[in-house]
Amino acid sequence: MTETTDVRPFPPNAETMAYGRCVLPQRRMTPGATGGLDGPAGPLGPELAGALTLTYGSFADEAKAQRGYRHFTDIQSTMLTADGFLRWLSFADGPHGYGLGFWSTAEQAAAFVRGAAHRAAVTEQHRDPFEYSQFAGIWTAHTIGRRTLHCPDCGGRAVAPVNTCGGCGRTLDDGFVGAAPDS
């Protein structure tokens, strides 16, 4: 039986953080919550995204911030039935909150934005604002690269989706649904 790679998060340790502050004193590392939402097809690789949405928001009031987070949860629940929705990531840089949406195409992202659920959410935000500042945009992928995996045993490189190292036969954890069985 071959060993399976355990793919999991590894936050920077204290030594790595100190190195970063030394080399790039202007770089920020914000501790805090990050969030993720997989689309209806499950966790898919970033190489499938033909477009990205980027939202930005900041808060200046605790109660409004909590109302905003609940509001975001409600609109994200509607993404699960939106054509082309692949994944959503939420993260912060100090007081600045960001949402990054992965979509199959810019047209599908724009259709969601023009849809009834999103329009109602924007109307609610304008009627009774909770964000201090906000921004949103859609970007189309200019170039989509290949996602690769590197075998921890032999160092061989494999192009995703893949489940087995072609060099030594070790089982590889692609980390995403849709990793095709090796041919």
Which residues, including other chains, have CB under 8 Å from residue 15's CB and lie 6 or more apart?
A: none
Answer yes or no: is 16 within a domain.
no
Please, what is the angle between helix 106-114 and helix 116-127, to 10°? Answer: 50
Range of the domain at 124: 21-140
The predicted structure's pLDDT at residue 178: 59
pLDDT in tens, 124-156: 999 999 999 999 999 999 999 999 999 999 999
Sign, CA torsion 29/31/33/36: positive
Is there a single domain that holds both residue 47 and residue 110? yes
- 158 token code pair: 């494999």
CATH value at residue 120: 3.30.70.100
Closest CA to 159 of 45, 57, 4: 45
Answer yes or no: is 86 within a domain.
yes
Q: Centre a 10 Å sphere on the Cβ of residue 158 and count the other Cβ atoms it contains.
A: 19
Work out the pLDDT band at 30, boundaries 50, 70, 90.
Answer: confident
